[in-house]
Amino acid sequence: MSSMFGKPRASAERPPQTPLPECNVAILGCRGAGKSALTVKFLTKRFISEYDPNLEDTYTSEELVDQQPVLLKVMDTADQDGPGNCERYLCWASAFLVVYSIEDRRSFEGCQRYLEVLALHARGCQRHCPVLLLGNKLDMDQYREGTTGPCGVKQQAQPTSGGKYPGDGHSLQFAPCPWNTPGQTPPAALCQVSALKCWSTHSWGIPTWRAQWSRCQEQHPASTRGRAWQAQSISSSLL
Ligand SMILES: Nc1nc2c(ncn2[C@@H]2O[C@H](COP(=O)(O)OP(=O)(O)OP(=O)(O)O)[C@@H](O)[C@H]2O)c(=O)[nH]1
C-alpha cells in the first residue's frame, strides 16, 4: 500500500504531460534506530510519537529539490534482525538512508551489515546508488555512545567488535555538485543525491561521517570547499 503525505508543490507550473523525476529512497537500519519516526518526521515536518512502528510501507511526497519538483518515494523498512530478504528494497530503491541511533552503539555497528549488503549489491549490478549514513535521536546527545574525536567532536567512528569501522573497505566517492548549475536539468543520479540532500536538510538527524569527511577534504580540497552539506552526506558511496 502506498500513502501520500504532504502537499504537492509547484505542480501548477508544470505541463500536465511532463512526468516528475522520481527518487525511491529506502530507509534501512536496526530495530529502534528511529526509521519510522524519521520517515514520519520528514514527511510531516514534525515529530509524531504515535504510529505503527512495525508497518513496512512506502510513502510518496512531492518535494522541491534544488527548485525542481521531485516525486520522492520513501520505503520505511522493518527488518526483524538485520538485513534479510533485501531484494525488495535493493531492486526498488535508487538511494539509501542507513540510520542508527546515537545513543545505541549496537545500532551503529548494525549499519555495517547494511553497508556491506549495499556494497555487494552495487558490485553485482554495477549500479552505484547514493547512500547516506544518518545519526538519529540527537536530542539524546547526553547518552551518546561514542568517543571524543579530533576537534573535540563526539563521534561514533569507533571500531566495531570485529575491530573494523563501519564503512571500512568501502571507498568514498565524492560527487561534485553540478545540480546547481543554472539551466541544467539534473540527471537522474544527481537528482537522487539531491533528494538525499533534501532529506538531510529536513530531518533532524545528522549524518555523522566526520572522520571520512576530513579525509575527503584532504583529497578534494577545492571541490569540497564551502559545501557543508556534502561534507556530511557523502557518507559511503559504495563501490
Ligand atoms: N528521543 C527520541 N526518540 C526517538 C527519536 N526518533 C525515534 N524515537 C523513538 O525511538 C523508538 C523507536 O523508533 P522507531 O521509529 O519505531 O524505530 P524503527 O527504526 O522504525 O524501529 P523498527 O520499526 O522496530 O525497525 C520510538 O519509541 C520512537 O518514539 C528521536 O529523534 N528522539
Q: Is 102 in the pocket of ligand 1 (CB under 6 A)?
A: no
If one counts the domains in the chain, the total is 1
In a domain, 80, yes or no: yes
pLDDT-derived band at 222, boundaries 50, 70, 90:
very low
What distance in angstroms lies between residue 34's CA and the mean position of ligand 1's atoms? Answer: 3
In a domain, 174, yes or no: no
Q: Which residue has the CA at smallest separation from atom 8 of ligand 1?
A: 34
Q: Residue 96 forms beta bridges with which residues?
A: 26, 131
In a domain, 89, yes or no: yes
In a domain, 230, yes or no: no
> Mean of the per-residue pLDDT values for the chain?
62
Among 137, 141, 208, the mutation site with the greatest number of ligand 1 atoms within 8 A of its Cβ is 137
Residue 30 pLDDT > 50, yes or no?
Answer: yes
In a domain, 197, yes or no: no
Element housing 69 (H / E):
strand 68-76
Q: Which three cell numbers stand for residue 215?
A: 579525509
pLDDT-derived band at 211, boundaries 50, 70, 90:
very low
In a domain, 91, yes or no: yes
Residue 146 pLDDT > 70, yes or no?
Answer: no
Q: Report helix, strand or coil for 130.
A: coil
Question: Which long-range CB contacts under 8 A does 3-6 form with residues at least 24 apart?
Answer: 3/57, 3/58, 3/59, 3/60, 4/59, 4/60, 4/61, 5/43, 5/44, 5/59, 5/60, 5/61, 6/43, 6/44, 6/61, 6/62, 6/63
Q: Is 130 in the pocket of ligand 1 (CB under 6 A)?
A: no
Predicted local confidence at residue 54, as pLDDT: 63
**Tell me, what CATH number does 139's domain have?**
3.40.50.300
Q: Which atom of ligand 1 is nearest to the CA of 49?
A: 29
Q: What is the mean pLDDT of residues 171-200?
A: 48
In a domain, 213, yes or no: no
Q: Which three cell numbers stand for residue 142?
A: 547526553
Residue 140 pLDDT > 60, yes or no?
Answer: yes
Q: Which atom of ligand 1 is nearest to the CA of 37?
A: 15
Q: What is the mean pLDDT of residues 7-19?
A: 58
What distance in angstroms lies between residue 184's CA and the mean position of ligand 1's atoms? Answer: 38
Tell me which residue range forms the domain holding 99. Answer: 19-144
Instruction: Please give the residue that has the higher pLDDT: either 188 or 20.
Output: 20
Q: Is 67 in the pocket of ligand 1 (CB under 6 A)?
A: no
In a domain, 166, yes or no: no
Does this complex have an ipTM over 0.90?
yes
